[in-house]
Homo-oligomer: A and B are copies of this chain.
Amino acid sequence: MPTLYDNPLSRNGYKVRLLASHLGLPLHVVTKDLKAGESRQPDFLAKNTAGKVPVLELEDGTCLPESNAIVLYMAEGTPLLPTAPLERAQVLRWMFFEQSQILPNIGLARMLKITGRDTQRPDVYAQRLEVAQDSLAALERHFGSHDWAALGRFTAADIVLYAYASVAEEAGIDTSPYPSMVAWRKRVEALPAHVKPDWGFAA
């Protein structure tokens, strides 16, 4: 069984666990204590030189960092990742949008907010919120006329977008201007294999 190095606060790790639930794939989850610097120690830097969770370690010891790369690897050959080039490109398009627009802005704003540093670095917080809101507006335009991120059905793109779009409120964002985005989140949550962000960690 593959090992996932992860932390309950990481929504990047949640992507991998949410996908595993949808695919019925077993994972051994190992918690890395980020505050204690466990992801920056030499043994972990050898698994991921960027010093971040999640990392998927395969049974042969191969280590695969980056949540969306792990998701693509695990989803290959399943209905969540199409093989036709243009269909695949439409899924990838949203996965890259998520990494450059949603994650760094909602993710950092949320981190500042939950650690209380939003008031210490107000200009940094405000600027991340600005870009996050612009990105949520793009999702709102899309979900205004589409039920799912790509191809008219639930795919790997919805899984990765959901991970941070679902914590917009934790980042301090009022989501009432984005009703179509909120409705899409509810569609994701209504799927039978949906699990919550703490799923997969030992009690």
A138 touching B49, Cβ below 8 Å:
yes
Q: Residue of B at shortest CB range from A127?
A: B124
A91-112 interface (Cβ within 8 A of B): 92-97, 99-101, 103-105
Q: Within the complex, what minimum Cβ distance (angstroms) separates A65 from chain B?
A: 6
Q: Which residues of B contact A70 (CB under 8 A)?
A: 89
Interface of A is mostly: helix
A36-50 interface (Cβ within 8 A of B): 45, 49-50
Picked from B62, B90, B103, the residue with its CB within 8 Å of the CB of A86 is: B62
Q: How many copies does the complex hold?
A: 2
B49 touching A142, Cβ below 8 Å:
yes
B68 touching A101, Cβ below 8 Å:
no
- Residue among A45, A58, A97, A100 with max Cβ neighbours from chain B (10 Å): A100
24 contacts between A and B (CB under 8 A): A49-B138, A50-B97, A50-B101, A51-B138, A65-B93, A65-B97, A66-B93, A66-B94, A66-B96, A69-B95, A73-B86, A73-B89, A76-B85, A95-B96, A96-B96, A96-B99, A100-B103, A104-B104, A104-B105, A121-B123, A123-B123, A123-B124, A124-B124, A124-B127
